Amino acid sequence: MSSYLENSDGKFIPATKRPDGTWRKARRVKDGYVPQEEVPLYESKGKQFVAQQQTGVPPGMCPMVAAEAKKAREKLERTKVKKDATPSAAKITHVILFPKESNNLLSKALDDKLKIIDDEIDVAKQLKKLRKKIREIELIESKIKEGNAHKVDKDQLDKVKKKPEVLKHLRELEQSQPHQT
């Protein structure tokens, strides 16, 4: 619809035929008018930035210059890959071959070390949980001593009753662990 008719009265959009066969009137438009279909969509700064990032062109750089630089960089990388692919005496590394039995022993030793580390982590977690339980129990006991026993529910009383078991388990874990943190 960018074709306008000019008249002594100004610019006009010519009459057009609708799909149902009726005619639209010719419309007069002011200077500088841009039809709605031709108005570019608004893009926020964020959308523009993301679109620019996807093209890979740095802000403010000419896209043609960026394309040439990219081609040159890719060509340089290809030549490096070709140079790396050529065998040379300097690139040969020493390979130590172990018999199958020693490989199995090494893998078993590594597995044992990993299990020990996992067990230590588990013990540390259990110690942390038990110490937290003891703190909670002591907090409930202090409530009871203050005379707020009516605010303590059945579950909290059960927790207080289990204090000796928790202390026993805590001591066992602390003794089984070689070094404490």
Q: Per-residue pLDDT tens for 52-88? A: 777 777 777 787 888 888 888 888 888 877 776 655 5
**Using 50, 70 and 90 to split pLDDT, how confident is the model at 148?**
confident
Measure Cα distances from 75 to 55, 81, 82 in Å: 19, 10, 11
Neighbours of 140 (CB within 10 A): 21
Model-wide pTM > 0.75: no
Q: Minimal CA–CA distance to 12: which of 1, 22, 39?
A: 1
Residue 130 has pLDDT above 50, yes or no: yes
Give the pLDDT of residue 120. 72
| Average pLDDT of the chain, as a whole number | 78
User: Model confidence over 12-57: pLDDT tens digits?
Assistant: 888 899 999 999 998 888 878 877 888 888 999 988 888 877 777 7
Domain ranges of the chain: 100-176
Give the pLDDT of residue 18. 93
Q: Taking a C-beta distance cutoff of 8 angstroms, is the pair 173, 123 a contact?
A: yes
27 has which bridge partners? 13
Higher pLDDT, 134 or 124: 134
Give the pLDDT of residue 110. 62
Name the percent of the chain lying above pLDDT 70: 73
